[in-house]
Chain A
């Protein structure tokens, strides 16, 4: 039963602020974070809530991001509900511990204001930071809007803490584009979120009554089995996420799915993109349809685990798939999103042409005209029957 409108709080919030509000309502025990543009406002807002006594979490202003994720693992290990936030170089600095957090099965929520990796140093949006951690074992959810950032941050705790998941979750928003842009956000009342999330019930924790050892040395005779466990856990996440979202959706009336589809049923060309690009793509698709091109959009939310079967099914009937992605994997056969899409479609009966456009690196704007350019190129490649493995759009060359 949807929460009645008079109980919903509506505010104009930036993505960072929306996440801070979600964290506030999540009843954290520890928030350990180090500032890095453009994530800073998440922690600043949360600290202000703390200064006014509105949250009971202990906020640890750690001296580095590596220590931020480490402190989160320690706090999660004793049974606390914990979160952190970072971006770009900060995320890169905690890379070692991301793998630890996932393999030690700590349900940490990690909000990221996606930002380009150095060098050169750049504070603007792209997905290189998120892509850099794609093998870590984290669940990765990318959000298009401030509303989705609020919704997803809350759902992330429920998802992570499930005993059949027990994996950390990255919630990503586009740095500056979403993190610093004010959008209309509907927020649930505190008691509804409290009821939805409950108190964390650890599957296992460091407890003097039941002393266990966490993080041993596992040699060649055991390490592999723990990875098998992780693999099984992450492959069960789509089902778990759908269950969590179904429950959340009853409260909000909103649903995102593992990915959103927009006019894909009859589309000749389907754009696949993540985060705020999804919004632009939908507008472009609409405009192109008016001109007679049957364009559809898939806005992918869950990047890890990649919803292979579902994506293959959703894309199968199109003539071409135009991947628009904000990351480059230097020297790769295909860049991260296209790589997943190509692999998903490799054995499909119906295989569209796949065109990979790398755009927006270092925060280079991806306006509607860039999408139009890509679609026009895709139409040409369809005529030729051949497309390059990838190309960059919007760069001066």
Chain B
């Protein structure tokens, strides 16, 4: 915001790919998704994953380690849209007021 004209690349070029991750959109939320492992198919056997597929903000984190599956939200970016909750086939996600 304070760089001089000759301290930024020419022509408006942004040379650091994906640097928007420096901009945390989590502050936009009015509600946040809460996930429960109990009936979740990803936790169960690494299938489904609809929440991850459809999240517009890449804020669902699905991981696998040594055959165990883990689920987390990246609340830095989650905008609380509720798509994950709506698309979950096992009702494992509900939205709560921020």
Contact = CB atoms under 8 A, between A and B. Distances in A.
Direct contact of A and B (CB under 8 A): yes
Contact of A213 (B1, B6, B8, B14): B14
A212 B17 contact: yes
A213 B17 contact: yes
Contacts of A228: 5
A211 B10 contact: no
B17 A216 contact: no
Interface residues of B, number: 14
Interface string B1-43: 1011110111111110100000000000000000000000000
A135 B1 CA distance: 27
Which of B1, B4, B8 has the largest number of chain A CB atoms within 10 A? B8
A52 interface: no
A213 B13 contact: yes
Nearest to A228: B5
Interface residues of A, number: 23
Contacts of A211: 17
A219 to B, nearest CB: 10
B3 A225 contact: yes
A212 B5 contact: no
A221 B3 CA distance: 10
B17 A104 contact: no
Given A221-B1, A225-B3, A214 B8 contact: no
A214 B9 CA distance: 11
A210 B17 CA distance: 8
B12 A103 contact: yes
A222 B9 CA distance: 12
A225 B5 contact: yes
A210 B15 CA distance: 8
Interface in A200-226: 203-204, 210-216, 218, 221-222, 224-226
Contact of A225 (B4, B14, B15, B17): B4
A224 B12 CA distance: 11
A229 interface: yes
Given A221-B1, A228-B5, A229-B6, A212 B14 contact: yes
Contacts of A43: none
Nearest to B3: A225
A105 interface: yes
A214 B13 contact: yes
Interface of A: 103-105, 166, 203-204, 210-216, 218, 221-222, 224-226, 228-229, 232-233
Interface of B: 1, 3-6, 8-15, 17
9 contacts: A105-B11, A204-B10, A204-B15, A212-B17, A213-B13, A222-B8, A225-B3, A226-B11, A229-B10
